[in-house]
Amino acid sequence: MKFINLLKKELAELINVQMILSLVVTMGIFMVLGGVMKSSIDEAVDSTKNVKVNICDRDQTDFTKAILKAIEDINNDPDEHTEVTIKTFETSGDDYAKILEDNDISNIVIIPEGFTASVEKGERPELISVNRMKSAATMSNISSGNDNAVSLIKDCVASTIAQKNGLSKNDYDLIEVPVKVNNNTVVEDKSAEVSSDSIIGKVTLQNMVLPIIVFVLIMLTSQMLMSAISNEKIDKTLETLLSTPVSRLAVIGSKMLAAAIVALINAAVFMIGFSVFVSGATDEVTETAKDIASGSVSVDEALKQLGIALNFSDYILVGLQLFFTILICLSVSLILGALVDDPKSVQNMLMPIMMLAIIPYMISMLADINELPTPVKIVVYAIPFTHTFTAIPNLMFGNTGLFFFGLAYQIVFFAVCIFAALKIFMTDKIFTISLNFGQKNKYKKKGKKSAANEE
Amino acid sequence: MGNVLEVKALSKQYTKVLAADKVSFEIGEGEIFALIGPNGAGKTTTIRMISTLLSPTDGDAVVAGHSVVKEPEKVRECITYLPDEAGAYKNMTGIKYLRFMAGLFFTDIDKINKSVERAKEICGLGERLNDKIGSYSRGMIRKLLLSRAVMTRPKLAILDEPTSGLDVLNAIEIRKMIKKLAAEEKMSFLLSSHNMLEIEFVSDRVGIIAKGHLMVTGRTDELKERYQAENLEEVFERVVLENEIH
């Protein structure tokens, strides 16, 4: 009952309007970003499926008309998935900006006069492609209209030249795609008929989510608990609390539990938000990739064949490691929070935890820790959070020994930290120790009058 | 009249400093005892040991029959402690704070409600209790905390600088309240203050502490007579600066 009273108070302190507002804003930002990403990619994907070709034929020969006809005929080819819509324009001169503006278009392909003559002479004909650049953003500039039109015209010219030189359609197709590559990926003793690029693409996206959640969890949990402890110390509400008929263990326990609950709420919001963002960015592409990659196995199927797809028990193990990560954060924050008795020092005290989280986070994103030189590897593995960042790759690639070593190390690390934290909280140390950044001089001046400080 | 508090040769040794050296005194039922001394004299250390926040390196203090060394949990059921310059949870309303604190002493809802009602009456903050503590003045916070300290009717209320931050009128009101609670409800008080006028007015007995030693104890009029002094301030000066002990 008293513990519930304490827990309710701690939760009320942590879950305030600012916190809820920041969660709503975070969620909103992720959703908006996801939406923007999705619409941009939809547009890009749509433009590859439904090609809109703006074309101006200044040559007006039978050959160029035949090219345009051949492009239109693509719609009647059952093997082609692309829908082509041709819009023809009458233009003159080389003021391309004016041409785009007058016709209210953002791109156009111009077949100049003398195009056919060049083909007939066996010279390389010139084609003019004009694109309007809207901004520096990659997505906003994706427009496959011109590229497709140019590619189609190139095909037509190439096949005309081939026919002229007596090559059959089959010969021409063979020259165009001379080698068929059969991609295979091997993990240990298993293999799957899929390119390693598509496996890496999928795994990277999957593995991006967890480290971000872990990072957010570590930072939020630490900051919340450290502030909770230091504020109580600074306001002397801790003295009041600890002089009431509740055990110190209940006071610490309620703070730790509340910080963990709030951190998990935050992590869940980040996870949902990030998933919305990532799925917005990847679903459409994956669907398109499936259409294109006919013949070879799907990436999910390949992950199973290679034995690197995570199963239910793997997820339980990852969850267990995440749980110990939070516990380590809480115990370290208890110690650091107890050392602070100045609000500004909380940020300084957060630095060691931040560094311990950033180092393995960055390394795990950029390199395989197991491939690092041994001394560096030892240092990185000595950071308890490293094992959380490497949990999924270790389980995926069968490094279970390393995973369980990491889990055991985290359990030992937590035991040591919580023992130290309890040693501080259950004894006089909670009122006598402090590490005051920037206040050392003040204390030095006091010199032997430190009794007053201890008072 | 039995003793509510018996402090027996209580000592506290920090790493380099002996903050309290064999401090002994007692407080009777309904008695107001004031511990006075300069900064760093050992007042807060002594008070913190009696409040079970610090553990003594030697000696003991017995509150309502319970030892602070052996039964700190039992001691905490009998006392309340108001630290000097203490704050409260800024995001809580005054009324929620009182309810939260009462909930740490009692599990019975009826007792909690009665305590809160009593605190509401004592603090006199009225409708402002429904506002967040963050919007209170220093004086309002002090009144809220004082009412919190007495709402559960503790056997011993330990108040460090009870009227700090209060204006003259509010301070007078609080002093009267302390005297009334001691006289009518037999609540005992251990006070610490730098305000000699306040001590003279409110306390039954005084203990002067310096450099960790409790130098003298006695009723204020007794001490004035013993030292042939006009007021308590003069007694304090002679005890602390000249180590004059009668």
Question: Other CB atoms closer than 10 Å to residue A254's CB: what's the count?
Answer: 23
Give B230→chain A minimum CA distance, Å.
29
Distance CA B23, CA A378 (A): 54
- Within this chain, do residues A213 and A314 fall inside the same structural domain, yes or no? yes
- Within this chain, do residues A301 and A426 fall inside the same structural domain, yes or no? yes
Provide mean pLDDT across the span A264-292.
65
Closest CA to B170 of B192, B141, B196: B141
ipTM above 0.90 for this complex: yes
* pTM of this structure: 0.74
Which of the pair, B188 or A217, is modelled with greater confidence? B188
Nearest to B44 among A244, A245, A455 (CB): A455
Which of the pair, A157 or A273, is modelled with greater confidence? A157
Banded model confidence at residue A451, pLDDT cuts 50, 70, 90? very low
Q: Are B94 and B131 in contact (CB under 8 A)?
A: yes
Q: Helices marked H in A75-168 — which ranges?
A: 96-103, 115-120, 145-164
Q: Cβ separation of B100 and A235 shorter than 8 Å?
A: no
Q: In chain B, which residues have their Cβ closer than 8 Å to the Cβ of A451?
A: 14, 17, 19, 40, 42
Which chain A residue has the Cα nearest residue B46?
Answer: A455
Distance from first CA to last CA of chain B, Å, rounded? 27
Phi, psi of A113 (to 5 degrees): -60, 145
User: Is residue A294 a part of any domain in this protein?
Assistant: yes
Question: Is residue A443 pLDDT above 50, yes or no?
Answer: no
Provide mean pLDDT across the span A297-304.
76
Q: Are A285 and A41 in contact (CB under 8 A)?
A: yes
Tell me the residue length of chain B.
246
Phi, psi of B168 (to 5 degrees): -55, -45
Residue type, B29: E
Closest CA to A228 of A238, A216, A219, A218: A238
Banded model confidence at residue A52, pLDDT cuts 50, 70, 90? confident
- The first and second tokens of residue A323, run together, are 């749980």
Question: Is residue A283 pLDDT above 90, yes or no?
Answer: no
3-state secondary structure (DSSP) of residue A47: helix
Provide mean pLDDT across the span A167-194.
84
Is residue A15 within 8 angstroms of chain B, CB to CB? no
Q: pLDDT at position A247, please?
A: 92
Question: Is residue A221 pLDDT above 60, yes or no?
Answer: yes
Is residue A135 within 8 angstroms of chain B, CB to CB? no
- Within this chain, do residues A201 and A336 fall inside the same structural domain, yes or no? yes
By mean pLDDT, which of A89-93, A345-349, A359-363, A446-450 is the weakest? A446-450
Question: Is residue A444 pLDDT above 50, yes or no?
Answer: no
Q: pLDDT at position A205, please?
A: 64
Which chain B residue has the Cα nearest residue A429?
Answer: B54
Is residue B83 within 8 angstroms of chain A, CB to CB? yes
When scoring B104, B153, B190 by the number of chain A Cβ atoms within 10 A, the one with the most, hence best to mutate, is: B104
Q: Are A56 and A111 in contact (CB under 8 A)?
A: yes
For residue A96, the domain's CATH number is: 3.40.190
Question: Is residue A282 pLDDT above 70, yes or no?
Answer: no
- Within this chain, do residues A167 and A206 fall inside the same structural domain, yes or no? no
Q: pLDDT at position A298, please?
A: 72
Q: Give the strand pairing for B32-36 and B205-210.
A: parallel
Which chain A residue has the Cα nearest residue B40?
Answer: A452
Residue type, A227: S
In the DSSP assignment, the letter for residue B93 is B
Q: Are B162 and B146 in contact (CB under 8 A)?
A: yes
Which chain A residue has the Cα nearest residue B41?
Answer: A452
Q: pLDDT at position A455, please?
A: 45
Distance CA A78, CA A153 (A): 20
User: Is residue A450 a part of any domain in this protein?
Assistant: no
Q: Cβ separation of A450 and B82 shorter than 8 Å?
A: no
Question: Is residue A206 pLDDT above 70, yes or no?
Answer: no
Give A18→chain B minimum CA distance, Å.
11
User: Is residue A19 a part of any domain in this protein?
Assistant: no
B residues 86-145 closer than 8 Å to A (CB):
86-89, 91-92, 96, 100-101, 103-105, 107, 145
Question: Is residue A180 pLDDT above 90, yes or no?
Answer: no
Is residue A431 within 8 angstroms of chain B, CB to CB? yes
User: Is residue A318 a part of any domain in this protein?
Assistant: yes
Q: Cβ separation of A449 and B40 shorter than 8 Å?
A: yes
Nearest to B19 among A16, A241, A454 (CB): A454
Q: Cβ separation of A454 and B14 shorter than 8 Å?
A: yes
Is residue B53 within 8 angstroms of chain A, CB to CB? yes
Give A423→chain B minimum CA distance, Å.
13
Which chain B residue has the Cα nearest residue A449?
Answer: B40
Of A180, A206, A236, the residue that ends a domain is A180
Is residue A20 within 8 angstroms of chain B, CB to CB? no
Banded model confidence at residue A162, pLDDT cuts 50, 70, 90? confident
Q: Give the strand pairing for B18-28 and B79-82.
A: unpaired
Of A123, A158, A180, the residue that ends a domain is A180
Q: In chain A, which residues have their Cβ closer than 8 Å to the Cβ of B81?
A: 239-240, 243
- What contacts A276, CB < 8 A, 6 or more positions away? A30, A31, A34
User: Is residue A6 a part of any domain in this protein?
Assistant: no
Question: Is residue A26 pLDDT above 60, yes or no?
Answer: yes
Give A410→chain B minimum CA distance, Å.
32
- Within this chain, do residues A316 and A168 fall inside the same structural domain, yes or no? no
Question: Is residue A409 pLDDT above 60, yes or no?
Answer: yes
Q: Cβ separation of A243 and B14 shorter than 8 Å?
A: no
Taking CB atoms and an 8 Å cut-off, how many pairs form between chains A and B? Answer: 99
Tell me the residue length of chain A.
455
Q: Are B75 and B66 in contact (CB under 8 A)?
A: yes
Closest CA to B238 of B230, B194, B221: B230
How many separate domains does chain A show? 2
Q: Cβ separation of B42 and A455 shorter than 8 Å?
A: yes
Question: Is residue A137 pLDDT above 60, yes or no?
Answer: no
Distance from first CA to last CA of chain A, Å, rounded? 34
- Within this chain, do residues A154 and A300 fall inside the same structural domain, yes or no? no
- Within this chain, do residues A419 and A354 fall inside the same structural domain, yes or no? yes
Distance CA B166, CA B149 (A): 16
- What burial letters (b/e) apply to A11-27, b meaning 16+ CB within 10 Å? eebbbeeebeeebeebe
Provide mean pLDDT across the span A72-79.
75
Give B29→chain A minimum CA distance, Å.
21
- Within this chain, do residues A313 and A420 fall inside the same structural domain, yes or no? yes
Distance CA A198, CA B6 (A): 78
3-state secondary structure (DSSP) of residue A265: helix
Is residue A343 within 8 angstroms of chain B, CB to CB? no
User: Is residue A21 a part of any domain in this protein?
Assistant: no
Q: Cβ separation of B52 and A5 shorter than 8 Å?
A: no
pLDDT along chain B (246 residues), means of 10: 90 91 95 92 93 95 96 95 91 95 95 96 93 92 94 96 86 91 95 89 93 92 89 88 73
A residues 432-451 closer than 8 Å to B (CB):
432, 449-451
Give A225→chain B minimum CA distance, Å.
15
Q: In chain B, which residues have their Cβ closer than 8 Å to the Cβ of A242?
A: 52-53
For residue A43, the Cα-to-chain-centroid distance in whole angstroms is 21
Of A153, A180, A207, the residue that ends a domain is A180
- Within this chain, do residues A240 and A347 fall inside the same structural domain, yes or no? yes
When mean pLDDT is compared over A59-63, A394-398, A407-411, B136-140, the highest value belongs to A407-411
What is the per-residue pLDDT across A366-391, written as a single tens digit (0 to 9) for each? 888 888 899 998 999 999 999 988 88
Give B170→chain A minimum CA distance, Å.
22
What is the per-residue pLDDT across A226-244, written as a single tens digit (0 to 9) for each? 888 888 988 889 999 999 9
User: Is residue A107 a part of any domain in this protein?
Assistant: yes
Which of the pair, B101 or A264, is modelled with greater confidence? B101
- Within this chain, do residues A260 and A408 fall inside the same structural domain, yes or no? yes
Range of the domain at A348: 193-445
User: What is the pLDDT of chain A when averaged over all its residues?
Assistant: 81
Q: List beta partners, residue A181.
A: none
User: Is residue A26 a part of any domain in this protein?
Assistant: no
Residue type, B128: R
Provide mean pLDDT across the span A412-434.
91
Give A430→chain B minimum CA distance, Å.
9
- Within this chain, do residues A272 and A332 fall inside the same structural domain, yes or no? yes
Is residue B41 within 8 angstroms of chain A, CB to CB? yes
Q: In chain B, which residues have their Cβ closer than 8 Å to the Cβ of A8?
A: 100
List the A107-111 sheet strands across, edge first. A83-88, A50-57, A107-111, A128-131
| Residue B11 parent element (H or E) | strand B3-13
Question: Other CB atoms closer than 10 Å to residue B90's CB: what's the count?
Answer: 16
- Within this chain, do residues A263 and A363 fall inside the same structural domain, yes or no? yes
Q: In chain A, which residues have their Cβ closer than 8 Å to the Cβ of B92?
A: 9, 12-13
Is residue A5 within 8 angstroms of chain B, CB to CB? yes
